[in-house]
A and B are shown apart, each in its own frame.
Chain A
Amino acid sequence: MGVIMKTAIKKIRKTLFGSIAIILFFIFWEAATVYGLVPKSVIPAPTKVFTALVRSTESGELFVHMKVSLARAALGFLLASAISIPMGFLLGTFFKTFEKALLPFLRMLEKLNPFALFPVFMIIFGIGNMEKIALIFWVAQWPLLFNTIAGTKSIEPNMIKSARSMGANKKVLFFKVILPASVPGIFTGVKISAQISFFMIIASEMAGSSQGLGWYYLSSSQSYQVPLMYGIILFITVLAVIINISFSKLENHFLVWKEASFQEN
C-alpha cells in the first residue's frame, strides 16, 4: 500500500512539475490582458476564452465538429494503414528489385506539397468528405510506407540465420521473425501518420468545408467571435496532445521488449 501511495505521489509531483510552464503561461496571459499590455479585442483573457469554449460545448456545436474532423482523419488514416503497411512489407521483403525501381518515384510523390494539392483533390473529388478522406489518405500513407520498409530491413541477418537453422520455412520466417521484428518501424510510421492526419484535416477544412473543427475555427474568426476562435485553437492543441499520448501508450504496450530509451520518445 505504502509503495503504491509513494509512486502515486511521485507521479503527481512529476506531472505538476511538468505543468509549471503551462500554468505560468496562462497566468501571464491573464495578467497581460488585465493590465492592458495587449489589446483585449485582439487577444482576449484566457478566462473569456474558456467561457466561450464551455458555451460551445454546452450547445453541442464543438463536439459535432470534433466528431466530423476525427471521423474524416481516422478514415483516411485507417485506409492508409490498411494499404501502406502491407505494401511496405511486400516492397521491403519479397519485391526488393521492384522497390529499388519504385523508391525514387515514391520519394518524389512524398515530397509533393500537400497544401498545393488541395485544389487538385477538390477538382477530382469535389469538396466534401470524400475529398478530405482522400487527402488524409495521401498524406498519411508516406510515413507508414517508408517506415514499414525500413522496419523490414532493420532485421539482423543473424536472426534470420538462426531461425533458418531451426528449420523455419518462409511462412514461419515471415510471421515469427520478419513481422515482429518490423513492428518498431511500423509504429514509428503509425505515430507520425496519426499526427499528420489530424494536422492536415484541420488545414483542409479551413481551405474548403462546411463542417469540421477547421471550418468552425475559420467561421468563428470571420464572425469576430475572437474568444471562441482562441478556444478552438486550444481545443485542437489538446486533441493533438491526446492523440500523441494515446499512440505512445499503444506503442509502449506493444513494444515492452524494447529498451527503455526507445520508449521515451
Chain B
Amino acid sequence: MLNVLSKAVDIEPANTGTDKIVIKNINRVFNIKRNNDSKNDFTAIKDVNLNIKAGEFLTIVGPSGCGKSTLLDIIAGLSKPSSGEIYIDNKIITGPALDRGIVLQGYALFPWRTVRHNVEFGLEIKGTGKNERREISTRFIKLVGLEGFEDRYPYELSGGMRQRVAIARALAYDPEVLLMDEPFAAVDAQTRETMQDELLRIWEETKKTIVFVTHSIEEAVGLADRVAIMSANPGYIKEVIDIDLPRPRRIGDIRNSASFSWITHKVWEILQNAQPDIPLKKSSANLAEDISASATI
C-alpha cells in the first residue's frame, strides 16, 4: 500500500521534490549600537542553505534567538538578507508577495474587521470582486471550522479561534507557500493539539508547501516531513532530518509510538550537541534577545 502511494506520488510532478524555495548562503547581520560608542555586529543567521520542496511540510526547530523567525521573515520577503540569495520557483525574492502567506504568533488580526472581513483582507488587496471574495471567505472559514462566526469581531473569539482566523486569512488568497511563525505558542496544550491536527488536515486538503517555525521538538517532529534543526549564535542549520512517520497523521496517535520518541530524542541530542559549539557568553545571550525583539518590528 505504501509503495503504491509513493509511486502515485512520483508521477505527480509537484510532489516529486521539485524545489519550491531555494535558500543559498543566506547571512543576516544586524548592526546594533550599544552604550553609545561601541558598535556591534551581530550575526543572526550564518551561511544558511536550505531547499524547500513543493508540497512538503518543513519545520524549523531551535532555541530562542537562533534566528529562525528572522529566516522566516526573509523567506516572506519582509526582511532582506545581508548576503546570499533566496529563490521561489527559480525567481529571486525581493519582497512580500501573495505567493507566500504568513501566520504570526500573535494572530495579528485586524480588530476592527469581522472574521469574514479579516479573511478577505488579502483578497481586497488582490482586487478580487465582492461576490467572489464572499464565496472564497465562506469556503475558508468553513475549512478552519468557524462557520457561524463570520460576523464576530476578534475580541469575541478565544485564542485558538483567532489563530484559525489567521490561518484562514493566510490561505484565502491562495498562496503556494504558508509560512508559520510559532503559531500555536500562545494557546493552551489541548487547543494546541487540536490545532496541530487541524493544520495537518488543512495541509492534506490544500496541498500547500508549509514552513513552520517552532521551539517545541514534539511539534516539529509531529507535523513535519523534514525537520531543520537550527543552532544559535550564530544561527545556522545544524542538520535537516527526514521524518518517516506514517501519513495521514494524528498527533494523538503518534505521540506515544516508539519511533516518535526515538526521533524526538535524536533531535534533542542534535540540539544539545549544537549548544556547546559556540560557548554562550552572557553578553551575547542578551544580545540575542535584543535582536529577536528588534527583528520583529
Contact = CB atoms under 8 A, between A and B. Distances in A.
Interface of A: 156-159, 161-168, 172, 176-177, 180-181, 183, 256-259
B3 to A, nearest CB: 40
B145 interface: no
29 contacts: A157-B296, A157-B297, A158-B104, A158-B106, A158-B107, A158-B108, A158-B296, A161-B78, A161-B104, A161-B108, A161-B296, A162-B102, A162-B108, A162-B166, A164-B78, A165-B100, A165-B101, A165-B102, A166-B98, A167-B96, A167-B97, A172-B125, A180-B112, A181-B112, A183-B112, A257-B112, A257-B153, A257-B155, A258-B155
Interface residues of B, number: 30
A164 B104 CA distance: 12
Contact of B76 (A158, A163, A165, A256): A165
Given A156-B106, A159-B108, A257-B113, A166 B121 contact: yes
Interface in B94-148: 96-98, 100-102, 104, 106-108, 110-114, 121-122, 124-126
Contacts, number: 65
Contacts of A163: 121
B124 A176 contact: yes
A258 B153 CA distance: 8
Nearest to A180: B112
Contacts of A180: 110, 112
A256 B78 contact: no
A178 to B, nearest CB: 11
A167 B122 contact: yes
Interface of B: 76-78, 96-98, 100-102, 104, 106-108, 110-114, 121-122, 124-126, 153-155, 166, 173, 296-297
A164 B77 CA distance: 9
B275 to A, nearest CB: 29
Contacts of A158: 104, 106-108, 296
Nearest to A260: B155
Nearest to B173: A166
Contact of A167 (B104, B126, B154): B126
A156 B114 CA distance: 18
Q: Which one of A157, A164, A165, A256 has the greatest number of beta carbons of chain B within 10 Å? A: A165
A170 to B, nearest CB: 12
A100 B212 CA distance: 39
A256 B104 contact: no
